[in-house]
Chains A and B, each alone.
Chain A
Amino acid sequence: MNCTRVEMLLPLYVGGDLAVAETEQVRAHLVACTNCQAQAAALAESQTWLQQAPLPEFSEDFFADLRADVWRELEQTETQPHWYDRWLPIWDWRWAGAAALAMVLLALAWNWFRLPGGNPPQEIANQPTPVPALRVPEKTPDATAAHAQPERKPIHRTTRPNYLRRTVVQQDVALTKPPTLPSNRETLSPVSGGANTDTLAATPEMTRIEFQTADPNIRIIWFAPKVETHSQSKEESNSR
Chain B
Amino acid sequence: MAELVLMAETLNSEQVEAGAPDASLRVIARARAGDQAAFDQLMILHQRRVVALAWRMLGTHEDARDAAQEAFLRVYKHLPKYDPAQDFNGWLYRIVVNVCRDLQRKRGRHSGASFEEELEAGKLVEPASPANSEADVLLAQERALLQRALAILSEKERQAVVLRDLEGLPTEEVARLLGSTPTTVRSQISMARVKLKAFREKWLKGKGATARKVRPQ
Q: CA of A69 to CA of B4 in the docked complex: distance in angstroms?
A: 14
Interface residue tally on B, bucketed by range: 35 or more
Whether A17 pairs with B171 at a CB distance below 8 angstroms is yes
Number of A-B residue pairs having CB atoms within 8 Å of each other in the complex? 101
* Interface positions of A from 38 to 86, Cβ below 8 Å from B: 42-43, 45-47, 49-51, 53-56, 58, 62-64, 66-75, 77
Whether A67 pairs with B44 at a CB distance below 8 angstroms is yes
Q: CA of A58 to CA of B145 in the docked complex: distance in angstroms?
A: 18
A225 within 8 A of B: no
B69 within 8 A of A: yes
Selected contact of B190 from candidates A12, A58, A64, CB within 8 Å = A12
Q: What residues of chain B lie closer than 8 Å to A17, measured between beta carbons?
A: 164, 171, 186, 189-190
Whether A11 pairs with B193 at a CB distance below 8 angstroms is yes
Q: What residues of chain A lie closer than 8 Å to B165, measured between beta carbons?
A: 15, 47, 50-51
Whether A46 pairs with B197 at a CB distance below 8 angstroms is yes
**Binary contact readout A7-29 vs B (1 if CB under 8 angstroms, 0 otherwise):** 01001101101000000000000
Q: What residues of chain B lie closer than 8 Å to A43, measured between beta carbons?
A: 193-194, 197
When A51-B165, A75-B1 are in contact, do A63 and B69 touch as well, CB less than 8 Å?
A: no
Task: Give the contact stretch, choosing among B47-55, B88-96, B207-215.
Answer: B47-55
Nearest CB of chain A from residue B96's CB, rounded to whole Å: 13
Whether B146 pairs with A53 at a CB distance below 8 angstroms is yes
Selected contact of A53 from candidates B142, B193, B197, CB within 8 Å = B142
Whether B193 pairs with A14 at a CB distance below 8 angstroms is yes
**Binary contact readout B37-75 vs A (1 if CB under 8 angstroms, 0 otherwise):** 000100110011001100110000100010011001100
* Nearest 3 Cβ contacts at the A-B interface: A53-B146, A11-B193, A46-B197
What are 28 A-B contacts defined by CB distance under 8 Å? A12-B190, A15-B165, A15-B189, A15-B193, A17-B171, A17-B186, A17-B189, A17-B190, A46-B196, A46-B197, A47-B165, A50-B146, A50-B149, A50-B166, A53-B146, A54-B139, A55-B55, A55-B143, A62-B65, A63-B47, A66-B65, A66-B72, A67-B5, A67-B72, A70-B72, A71-B4, A71-B5, A75-B1
Q: B residues touching A (Cβ–Cβ < 8 Å)?
A: 1, 4-5, 40, 43-44, 47-48, 51-52, 55-56, 61, 65, 68-69, 72-73, 76, 139, 142-143, 145-146, 149, 161, 164-166, 171, 186, 189-191, 193-194, 196-197, 200-201
